Amino acid sequence: MEDLFNYREDREAYSAARMRALEDLLIKKGIITDRTVDTVLDFFETRMGPFNGAKIVARAWIDAAFKERLVADAPSAIAELALPEGMAGAEGEHVRAVANAPGLHNLILCTLCSCYPWPVLGLPPYWYKDPTFRSRAAREPRAVLKEFGLEIPESVEVKIWDSSAQVRWFVVPERPAGTESLSEAELETLVTPEAMMGVAIAKAA
């Protein structure tokens, strides 16, 4: 879409200067401190991010009973794991997990904005926030997934979850074949945010 519109030539420098002016005023007026923004960013780099989701999925792969509990009641199942404090915090207050299975593929969507399970997955990537994805995935999910490099045949049912109220959704992808000998920690490395939103599947390294 970008080439359809005219943008200022100094688009990013202009935005960067305005952002600094805004942060300057917020600090000077006493709304936030000179550390507040970094405190938030640090939280998402170290405590709330896709590394938590990867641990949840890896556990579901090695423990079928945990996976069942995760799909039935995600917050309780997540609370069983030794994850950072705050898994039910901001944008994680009401999470639900849906599991892929042979013949079933799930895709998470937010057609109205960009609802995303922060504690499980961190912050939403650009593709998820893009209006084109949010428009098209509702009517032609397979065509959209193909553009992500994922072929889902017509014989596989696709379920789309449009996040329009309090629930923040994520997908438990299927465990890739050939990973039987991997440890739980090794399995975690195979889980991407894209697989946990349904635009990819988990693959053996």
**Distance (Å, whole) CA 112 – CA 95:** 18
Residue 69 CB, shortest distance to other proteins, in Å, is: 16
**The residue count for the chain:** 205
When asked if residue 99 is in the footprint of other proteins (CB under 8 A), the reply is no
- Our finding on whether 156 is near other proteins (CB under 8 A) is yes
Q: Which stretch binds other proteins (CB under 8 A): 63-71, 122-130, 172-180, 183-191?
A: 122-130
Residue (of 189, 149, 166) closest to 50 by Cα position: 189
Determine the Cα–Cα distance for residues 43 and 49; give it in Å rounded to an integer.
9
Candidates 63, 66, 158, 174; binder of other proteins (CB under 8 A) is: 158
Q: How many residues bind other proteins, per CB under 8 A? A: 90
Residues 6+ apart with CB under 8 A from 17: none
Q: Which of 89, 143, 139 is nearest to 119 (CA)?
A: 89
Catalytic residue numbers?
110, 113-115
The one among 64, 65, 82, 126 contacting other proteins by CB under 8 A? 126
Spatial CA neighbour of 47 closest among 97, 112, 103, 121 = 121
Please pick, from the candidates 9, 155, 180, 181, the single residue that binds other proteins as defined by CB under 8 A. 155
Residue closer to other proteins by CB (options 62, 158) is 158
Is residue 141 part of the contact set for other proteins (CB under 8 A)? yes
Q: How does strand 157-162 pair with strand 168-172?
A: unpaired
Smallest gap from Cβ 48 to other proteins, in A, equals 7
Cα torsion angle, 183, 197, 106, 145, sign: negative
State how far the Cα of 17 lies from the Cα of 91, in Å rounded to an integer. Answer: 30
What x/- string results for residues 47 through 86 when contact with other proteins is judged by CB under 8 A? -x------------------------------------xx
Task: Please select the residue that binds other proteins; options are 94, 99, 174, 179, rule is CB under 8 A.
Answer: 94
Among positions 32, 62, 71, 99, the unique one binding other proteins when judged by CB under 8 A: 32
